[in-house]
Amino acid sequence: MISKLEISGLSKVFGDLQALQAIELSVARGEFISVVGPSGCGKTTFLRIVAGLEPASAGEVVLDGRAVRGPGGDRGFVFQTDNLLPWRTVFANAIIGREIAGRVGPAERQRTLELLKLVGLEGFENYHPRQLSGGMRQRVNLARALAIDPEILLMDEPFSSLDAQTREIMQTELMRIWEEGRKTVLFVTHQIDEAVFLSDRVLVFARRPGRLLESVAIALPRPRALAIKRTAEFVRYVDHIWRLIEDDVRLSVIEEKL
């Protein structure tokens, strides 16, 4: 099997702090991978290095056989905050990645419209961000990343600012959209149940130094409905991951209080 994304010996140092240490990872085409871990485990830094927004201190990220040197149109980044341009309409926000690549023709417009429909924003193309709810803005955020038709989708806690119910809805929506195209996804989250629900594999990170503790394969059948969260198998996965990081999380909470 040829891997889509190959990461070897990836390390990141901020001053004296070892943020990431010798991460090894191989991701297959179409795989949905989540990264969970306590705060300070370097999971967001990891994603930013893959995106090319941050340079690695050592090691290599190889996407489709090419080493990542900086940001590029082969990766679509979905931000934690929606980062929509307030003066642009939903449509103009969604198509901005194409604009930067310098190609906005009828085909790209059509594709963007279809994506907005896919994420459930049909009829809202001419709205401005201030007229949308948090959940809708995150849908635009997702459509914007998908509009460049990236090889891999990088998602940085995209639902963390949403309320609990909206988050659950967005998880099922993301599953529905993912089933349509089966993009390769790297999804960073601090919600263990979210990671288990969405993923083929959950990478559990530890802190000080940030490192890959265990890669947990999730053998739940697809497509998945929300009800799966109440099955014994699902709960077993969540329990297992929680026990891996529990001590680390306690430590990080105490440190944050100090």
Give the pairing of strands 32-36 and 201-206: parallel
CA of residue 34 relative to chain centroid, distance = 7
Q: Which of 22, 53, 62, 169 binds another protein (CB under 8 A)?
A: 53
102 vs 106, which CB is nearer to another protein? Answer: 102
Please count the residues of this chain forming the interface with another protein, following the rule CB under 8 A.
24
- Residue 79 lies near another protein (rule: CB under 8 A): yes
Q: Does 67 bind another protein (CB under 8 A)?
A: no
**Interface positions, 80-99, toward another protein (CB under 8 A):** 81, 83, 85-87, 96-97, 99
- Min dist. Cβ of residue 89 to another protein (A): 11
Cα(221)–Cα(134) distance, integer angstroms:
30
* Interface with another protein, residue 104, by CB under 8 A: no
Q: Give CA–CA dist 109/141, Å, rounded.
A: 17
How far from 224 is each of 52, 94, 166, 183, 214, CA to CA, in Å?
32, 28, 17, 17, 23
| String marking each residue 122-151 x if it binds another protein according to CB under 8 A | ------xxx-----------------x---
Other beta carbons within 10 angstroms of residue 120's beta carbon come to 17
Cβ atoms < 10 Å from Cβ of 29: 15
Q: Give the residues lining the site for another protein (CB under 8 A).
A: 51-53, 70-73, 75, 77, 79, 81, 83, 85-87, 96-97, 99-101, 128-130, 148
